[in-house]
Amino acid sequence: MAALPSAGSSARVTGLRVRAVHLEVKQALETASGSFSTWPVVLLDVQTDAGVTGHAFLGCFLPMVLKPMVSILNDLSPLVAGESLSPTAIDRKLRARMRLIGVHGFLASAIAMVEIAAWDALGKATGQPVVRLLGGAPKSYPMYKTVVAMDPGKAAELARQAIDAGYGGLKLKLGAPTLRADMALITSVRKAAGDDFPLMGDFNQVLSVPEAAERISVIDGEGLVWLEEPVAARNYAGCAQLARTALTPIQIGENWLSLEDAADSLAAQASDYVMPDLVKIGGASAWLKAATLAEAQGVPVSAHSFPETCSHLMPATGNGHWLEHVGMADAVFRQPIRPTDGRYQCSEAPGFGMEWDEDTIGRFLVS
């Protein structure tokens, strides 16, 4: 991993601007752990005295999450106002201030968002894409589209649209009540995508270890790229048991909530592949550190969602694997991420290259 810069330009943070939108979506996000028919998103701007603003966002799954997230972020604003625009120093300061209450849950997500937006602002203040600040250079990675419908017919239709749009793979939401239903979904999408098209599967943690072992023994014949979160995310021993016996690589990591989780999971050899979540792991620096822990064990690292940001982080690692695009929050961006020939490469635009679509934001603004 490239050395992380310890300080930025001479710019200072002047405060945080926090907004919440509740987006309508064409297709609900269906998972084995519940369906989500609207998409609530928190938008954060780190404002600076350099005339640039850094952005970060978080899809909150449930509208009830917007209010506490907005409240916490607004309360963090006075703690960062006047600070030098150093993502690392700001992150350390906030974590130190919260040490006694503990950096968990929404508070942890809020601090991670501030760190991410600070990186974006630093890139803009210095005229560099974040990938360059990290010592990397733009590089393309294969990018898959997550197929958010669990109905086999609807999923095949979304799969065809994603292939036409140029995605390099498709991730299916598995973990239906029966193996037969999971197989019907895989068969339907396989027929639409063709024999050699990369397909992943995600159980979203709903199976017990014996159920997962039985289901995976059948799905193993389908040649999927990986099977994600077959059992409870923190059951590293159970994941390791499955990883040892499954033919299909096991993928986990999106529910690592700290570097300690990453270290524990890797030490337990809980999975063949890992995919830390940018916000849950604690921000951009934490994502890179988790990726580095994985690199030391020869474990490929993928991004869990957030392709806008992670496409800048991956080139700073030696073990970058796949980018994921779900796209539920696409409407808030002026130029949503799109693949080219199955892949995506970050641009040379300063920061993370994200620009808000203020018209859409104005239309769906709730606070």
Residues identified as active-site? 173, 304
Indicate whether 202 belongs to the interface with Mg ion (CB under 5 A). yes
Indicate whether 228 belongs to the interface with Mg ion (CB under 5 A). yes
Question: Using alpha carbons only, how large is the chain's radius of gyration in Å?
Answer: 20
Q: Which is nearer to Mg ion, 115 or 228 (CB)?
A: 228
CB of 250 to Mg ion, least distance (A): 12
Q: Which is nearer to Mg ion, 175 or 282 (CB)?
A: 175
- C-alpha distances (whole Å) from 299 to each of 50, 220, 253 are 40, 20, 12
Q: Which is nearer to Mg ion, 91 or 228 (CB)?
A: 228
Q: Which is nearer to Mg ion, 115 or 202 (CB)?
A: 202
Place of tokens 């998103």: 41
Indicate whether 308 belongs to the interface with Mg ion (CB under 5 A). no
Indicate whether 277 belongs to the interface with Mg ion (CB under 5 A). no
CA angle 81, 131, 142 (to 5 degrees): 130
Q: Which amino acid appears at position 165 of this protein?
A: A
The closest residue (CB) to Mg ion is 202
CB of 277 to Mg ion, least distance (A): 9
Q: Segment contacting Mg ion (CB under 5 A): 6-14, 226-234, 255-263, 343-351?
A: 226-234
CB of 254 to Mg ion, least distance (A): 5
Q: Segment contacting Mg ion (CB under 5 A): 71-79, 80-88, 173-181, 227-235?
A: 227-235
Q: Which is nearer to Mg ion, 16 or 225 (CB)?
A: 225
CB of 281 to Mg ion, least distance (A): 14
Q: Segment contacting Mg ion (CB under 5 A): 6-14, 85-93, 107-115, 223-231?
A: 223-231
Q: Which is nearer to Mg ion, 121 or 270 (CB)?
A: 270
CB-based contact 174:149 (threshold 8 Å): no
Indicate whether 30 belongs to the interface with Mg ion (CB under 5 A). no
CB of 325 to Mg ion, least distance (A): 13
Query: Which residues in the 342-361 window bind Mg ion by CB under 5 A?
Result: none
Q: Segment contacting Mg ion (CB under 5 A): 112-120, 155-163, 198-206, 215-223?
A: 198-206
State the pairing for strand pair 13-31/34-48. Answer: antiparallel
Q: Segment contacting Mg ion (CB under 5 A): 10-18, 148-156, 228-236, 338-346?
A: 228-236
Size of the residue set binding Mg ion (CB under 5 A): 2
**Would you tell me which residues interact with Mg ion (CB under 5 A)?**
202, 228
